[in-house]
Amino acid sequence: MADRILIVDDEQWVVQAVRSYLEAAHFEVLAAFDGKEAMAQFEAHDPDLIILDWMLPELDGLSVAARIRERSNVPIIMLTARVDEDDRIAGLETGADDYVVKPFSARELEARVRAVLRRSAGQGTPILEVGALRLDREQRQVLVGGESVELTAMEFDLLAFLMEHPGRVFTRLELLEAVRGTTYGGFERSVDSHIKRLRQKIEPTPQNPAFILTVFGIGYRLAKDPST
């Protein structure tokens, strides 16, 4: 079932642009154009995440966030043109999980959405298995064909995320956002070195990988049914 996202912004073009991008990414999207409508949508539809503009008519974004926090831990991403450090702190202290400044990239916003949803879900399924790969989150252990392999924290988190979504293609930035929960713009290529080392540890033949596959021009995916 698709995650349900509530977008709240009084600028209709912003709502439409974000809605189109997130729906294309297979999210279910709801919209509200002022603070009171946002509260009504929240109460009626129980969204999985809220993208919330700060400057809203009827009821401002900080007030909406504060009211929602009184009854729910639903993730909130503040979307605003306010760039001062004090504003960021105010938004986060009100209960926002992330803070995106306008103008923004729709692709970056989607990556933030995925990262926040992943963090809000906690550790997720404790045991993940795909083919000969077995990952135990509680023990921080990875087995390949029954043999234990030692991974760094970054390698472990990358593998866990890919194993949560076998067959799905992720860009480098999406992978970094998902496992580190912050923006790594300009450092996307660093994921290549982590993937290279990870392959050296888990792949029977690193030069011809069976588990972590390169999707040229885009990023990486974990094979749904890897052959070993």
18 and 110: one domain?
Answer: yes
116 and 133: one domain?
Answer: no
86 and 185: one domain?
Answer: no
The tens digit of pLDDT for each residue in 152-190 reads 777 888 899 999 899 999 998 888 777 765 544 445 667
| 228 in any annotated domain | no
Domain that holds residue 185: 127-222
Q: Last residue of a domain, which of 120, 152, 176? A: 120
Indicate the pLDDT class of residue 85, thresholds 50, 70 and 90. Answer: low
Q: Last residue of a domain, which of 120, 151, 172? A: 120
Q: What is the mean pLDDT of residues 80-102?
A: 72
Most confident range (mean pLDDT) of 39-43, 97-101, 153-157, 223-227 is 39-43
The CATH number assigned to the domain holding 69 equals 3.40.50.2300
- Above 80 in pLDDT, residue 2? no
Q: Has this prediction a pTM greater than 0.75?
A: no
Total structural domains within the chain? 2
108 and 23: one domain?
Answer: yes
Q: Output the 3-class SS for the chain.
A: CCCEEEEECCCHHHHHHHHHHHHHCCCEEEEECCHHHHHHHHHHHCCCEEEEECCCCCCCHHHHHHHHHCCCCCCEEEEECCCCHHHHHHHHHHCCCEEEECCCCHHHHHHHHHHHHHHHCCCCCCEEEECCEEEECCCCEEEECCEEECCCHHHHHHHHHHHHCCCCCEEHHHHHHHHHCCCCCCCCCHHHHHHHHHHHHHCCCCCCCCCEEEECCCEEEECCCCCC
